[in-house]
């Protein structure tokens, strides 16, 4: 039975909402007379946690220094320095361990539950909420909120039910409902756009190489100004280096996702049309490549080019493609490789150009860039600067991170800070 009044109502049963509700209830220690309510619009809370990381849940990333951690957020990074100085990766690991869940670091820095199952994270959060006395109500979607003259809020749900809250926490992620409620309470909105997506290549010259993965690859997005489109701060080239996967429609992999995250708005403004420069060597210098070719001429003189690659990690399928791209016969012996053909291969390896024609075909972007402007929020407490008693956490804000657990980390941090601030206000009142 949904009560008609509560001390704290958290709208949104995702990672940030759960953390805010648990942290508030734990820190207050029963000092909220009306209790802490957590409302989730779907029948199953924490669904995003459950499906994340291929069902494993990348909880956070082993980036322990807040000064370095903020570099992984294309939007909001600098502003997060303060919040992360109070609750960052180490605090997240300690919090989950204190609640019975141990996280394990993988070689690339991602941290997963030891069980390797996202359900363990969900179970931990649900148990912690129950233990703290949080009242969880599912299939309860917030629709409108009204600030009351004497303080507090009247929240109307989609079902038609109403309840009064002394404090209101919006943790609705990128869902428009949270944006509408925040706007009705005086907040602005940075228009959300997709972030962290794969790229479709025009005419897909690499389609026969689908499935090939290379690491490292250096990507450079050439964002030249387009006629009729207003210039932005993102017209300078965007670069990323790391693993790349060739797909049936274009390019994916961590380096591609990072690139699209940092260039999300510029790509949207250009209707996802741009030129992509790919350095398949990962940034190696021309002199190093020339040294490889010299060694190959001397040590592999009788072997055909197609049967011996300059370095072992270079995919043979990709190497044959680059030979064809450079107009070089794969049956040619290394001893007979002309200098002009060598230069053509160096160019193909370091400076292949492709035309981007759109995002990946499945709408698989997991994050949006945009939300409530950070200037409208006190980031020490996550309380609104516009409406006292209102707190905003998680992906509702104009903050987004790259892949690797960084978006979850912001949810844990902002939720925890809001919970602590709510409990502190109750103690002082």
Residue identified by tokens 């209830």 is 25
pTM (whole model) above 0.85: yes
**The tokens of 115 are what?**
């069980």
- State the pairing for strand pair 60-61/103-105: unpaired
192: tokens are 């959300």
Residue pair 343/357 in contact (Cβ under 8 Å)? The answer is no
Number of H helices, E strands in the chain: 13, 20
Cβ count within 10 A of residue 389: 20
Cα separation values, 16 from 45, 169, 293, Å: 12, 10, 53
Residue in this structure with the two tokens 């591609």, named with its chain if needed: 256
Tokens found for residue 263 = 């260039």
Residue 254 tokens, joined: 């961590």
> Could you read off the pLDDT tens digit of each residue along the chain, which spans 429 residues?
889 999 999 999 999 999 999 999 999 998 899 999 999 999 999 999 999 988 999 999 999 999 999 999 999 999 999 999 999 999 999 999 999 999 999 999 999 999 999 999 999 999 999 999 999 999 999 999 999 999 999 999 999 999 999 999 999 999 999 999 999 999 999 999 999 999 999 999 999 999 999 999 999 999 876 666 555 544 567 899 999 999 999 999 999 999 999 999 999 999 999 999 999 999 999 899 989 999 999 999 999 999 988 888 899 999 999 999 989 999 999 999 999 999 999 999 999 999 999 998 765 556 889 999 999 999 999 999 999 999 999 999 999 999 999 999 999 999 999 999 999 987 655
Task: Return d(Cα 43, Cα 39) in angstroms, integer.
Answer: 10
């Amino acid at each position: 039975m949904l009560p008609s009044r509560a001390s704290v109502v958290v709208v949104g049963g995702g990672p940030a909402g759960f953390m805010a509700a648990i942290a508030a209830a734990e820190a207050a220690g029963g000092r909220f007379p009306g209790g802490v309510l957590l409302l989730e619009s779907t029948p199953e809370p924490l669904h995003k946690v459950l499906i994340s990381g291929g069902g494993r849940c990348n909880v956070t990333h082993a980036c322990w220094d807040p000064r370095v951690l903020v570099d992984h957020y294309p939007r909001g990074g600098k502003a997060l320095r303060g919040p992360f100085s109070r609750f960052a990766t180490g605090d997240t690991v300690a919090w989950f361990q204190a609640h019975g869940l141990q996280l394990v670091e993988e070689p690339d820095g991602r941290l997963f539950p030891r069980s390797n199952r996202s359900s363990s994270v969900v179970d931990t959060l649900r148990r912690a909420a129950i233990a703290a006395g949080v009242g969880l109500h599912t299939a309860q979607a917030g629709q409108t909120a009204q600030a009351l003259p004497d303080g507090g809020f009247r929240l109307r749900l989609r079902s038609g039910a109403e309840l009064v809250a002394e404090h209101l926490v919006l943790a609705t992620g990128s869902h428009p409902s949270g944006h509408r409620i925040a706007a009705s309470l005086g907040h602005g909105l940075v228009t959300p756009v997709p972030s962290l997506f794969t790229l479709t290549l025009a005419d897909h010259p690499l389609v026969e190489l689908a499935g090939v993965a290379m690491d490292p690859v250096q990507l450079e997005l050439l964002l030249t100004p387009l006629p009729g489109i207003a210039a932005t701060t993102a017209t300078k080239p965007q670069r990323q280096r790391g693993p790349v996967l060739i797909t049936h429609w274009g390019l994916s992999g961590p380096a591609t996702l990072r690139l699209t995250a940092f260039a999300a708005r510029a790509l949207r403004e250009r209707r996802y049309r741009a030129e992509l420069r790919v350095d398949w060597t990962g940034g190696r210098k021309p002199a190093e490549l020339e040294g490889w070719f010299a060694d190959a001429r001397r040590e592999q003189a009788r072997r055909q080019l197609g049967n011996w690659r300059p370095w072992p990690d270079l995919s043979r399928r990709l190497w044959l493609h680059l030979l064809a791209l450079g107009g070089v016969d794969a049956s040619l012996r290394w001893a007979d490789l002309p200098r002009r053909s060598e230069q053509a291969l160096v160019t193909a390896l370091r400076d292949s150009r492709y035309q981007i024609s759109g995002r990946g075909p499945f709408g698989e972007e997991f994050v949006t860039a945009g939300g409530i402007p950070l200037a409208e929020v006190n980031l020490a407490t996550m309380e609104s600067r516009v409406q006292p008693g209102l707190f905003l956490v998680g992906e509702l804000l104009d903050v987004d991170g790259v892949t690797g657990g960084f978006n979850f980390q912001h949810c844990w941090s902002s939720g925890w800070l809001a919970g602590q601030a709510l409990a502190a206000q109750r103690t002082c009142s």
